[in-house]
Amino acid sequence: MTATSPTDIYQASLDAMASMFFSGDMSRLQDLISVPLTIHMADGSLQIERLEDVVFMLSEQRDNLLNLGTTEYHRICVDARYLDPAATQISGRHKTYVMRGATYLLEPFICEMDLTKDAALWRVSLLRCNMNNSDYTVIGTRTLERLRSGRRI
């Protein structure tokens, strides 16, 4: 059965991305990302223009989480809604759990994500996390160095 409610689509997207992310399947994960990708954290924002830079960032984020000892990474939809009558855009919120076994490595936190339907795929176009990048490293130091060195835009 194909998901049709915005909440079901949003959760299915979260689940697919988390599975690809933690298995290291960046080639499939990149198909679910739209560029430019805008990321807003409590302590700053960044727009990444090139897909290869997004993949680099995600690989670094995965490495950082594994180095923390992360064994469980869950993102659970809180709410989601269509943004347009054609049902091609969804905005939603989810709670993120980063854990080692049953122990929180970070306190659970809320993020927001916008999805846009492109052909048969729902792609992420925007991510907002209500925490500092310095506390939950989405945009790692190697990624920032890469973007500053001119491999951006």
* Average pLDDT over every residue of 112-133: 92
Asked whether residue 25 carries a pLDDT value surpassing 90, the answer given is yes
pLDDT of residue 77: 99
* Average pLDDT over every residue of 72-82: 96
* Average pLDDT over every residue of 84-101: 96
Place of tokens 């560029």: 35
Report the percentage of the chain scoring pLDDT > 70: 92
Which among 54, 7, 10 has a CA at the least distance from the CA of 30?
Answer: 54
Could you give all domains of the chain from N- to C-terminal order, each with its CATH number? 6-147 (3.10.450.50)
Q: What is the mean pLDDT of the chain?
A: 89
Alpha-helical regions (H) of the chain: 6-23, 26-29, 51-68, 141-148
In b/e form, how buried is each residue of 89-120, taking b as 16+ CB within 10 angstroms?
A: bbbbbbebbbbeeeeebeeebebbbbbbeeee
pLDDT of residue 153: 36
Report the percentage of the chain scoring pLDDT > 90: 68
Angstrom CA distances, 22 to 25, 47, 66, stand at 8, 23, 9
Give the SS3 label for residue 136: coil
Q: In three state form, how does the secondary structure of 23-54 look?
A: HCCHHHHHHHEEEEEEEEECCEEEEECCHHHH
pLDDT of residue 41: 86
